[in-house]
Amino acid sequence: MTQVHPRFHRTTGRLSDGREILWYDAAAGRDIGAAAGRDIGAAAGRDIGGAAGRVAGVDHRGLPEVHTVSEIRYDELLDEWVAIASHRQTRTFQPSGGADQCPLCPTTPGHDTEIPTPDYEVVAFENRFPSFSGGVGRCEVVAFTSDHDGRFGGLPVERVRLVIDTLADRTEALSALPGVEQVYPFENRGAEIGVTLAHPHGQIYGYPFVTPRTRQQLESARRYRDRTRSDLYADILERERTDGARVVAESAHWTAFVPVAARWPVEVHLYPHRAARDLPELTDDERDDLAAIWLDVLARLERFHGRPLPYIAAWHQAPVREDRHLARLHLELFSILRSPDKIKYLAGSESGMGVFINDTTPEDVAARLRELGA
């Protein structure tokens, strides 16, 4: 079934084990399912494995129903929840055959994948190896492009805008699920980060609790409001824009800056000028502007060490129900690479006590990133 939105088209389907899959297209024309009568082999100009009746959008792998054993356990000392997901030990890890074995590439003759169409723009689907399952949260994969050798920072601005619409749409959908308390879109990029698949993709977690980082930020925002009657996020943004020493890039609706107490060797935060709580609240103009400045910042990061930069792009959004009025949407982009050939490891102080020690100054990093603008 295809649903039309002002800026995108969403088509829903099911994989052979019952998981949901959704295609996102900028324009109409996507034919999915047997009713469309569109054969994958015909669409690709080839026969698929010599088998007849192979229809675009139909997963012919015959996967068994997914059985997962994830659970969440409570750490009384830290007042935190921990996910236990032992089934993830068997998930796909860096297949050696490249695109020929990649589960995120389109389905081709002789190679059935998680995405049963010969091409796609953006696709979201339930993770086969979720960190949360069994009615306690949800985990989805978002494939940004059908190009196995591509990268998010190399996408055209129109595709990044479609990714933003996809993340906003999935945030709304996951927020409506029973038991989901926070929705977290993110991208892990690079083997050093621990990425198990090289194909350009991100993930979305629907947590069954409010995460520790978010709870800590909300409590800080609450104390600040009680003390000053002001908004902590708004004042941080105003101070950075006024000072300018750590600002990397600005646009009509967004400012990118290195935080004053940066933990990572390369770290940039991206704030909207208006106090939006999550991606669905962004206007069309804010989404268009975000697509452009997101690519701008990523291009600067790619030049920082003169090599592809391993990074995490983490979207902070307001919880579904708790303290939404205290939160503000923002993106954290950070890398563990402290030099072209050295990684910042989380050793005794960081891992044992949670106290980060940064070998770079935020002001120097910001100045370097400003120099690296296109």
The C-alpha angle with vertex 143 and arms to 142 and 145, in degrees rounded to 5, equals 145
Reply yes or no on whether 67 is catalytic. Answer: no
Sign of the torsion formed by the C-alpha atoms of 17, 182, 255 and 186: negative
Alpha helices (H) in the chain, listed in sequence order: 40-44, 157-175, 212-228, 232-243, 284-304, 362-371
What phi and psi values does residue 219 have, to the nearest 5 degrees? -65, -40
**Cα end-to-end distance, the chain, whole Å:** 42
| CB neighbours of residue 249 within 10 Å | 20
**Per annotation, catalytic residue among 201, 253, 316, 330:** 201
State the chain's maximal CA–CA distance in angstroms: 71
Asked whether the beta carbons of 153 and 304 are under 8 A apart, the reply is no
Per-residue CA distances from 178 to 66, 117, 134, 187 (Å): 20, 31, 12, 25
Distance CA 250, CA 55 (A): 47
DSSP state of 134: T
Task: List the catalytic residues.
Answer: 201
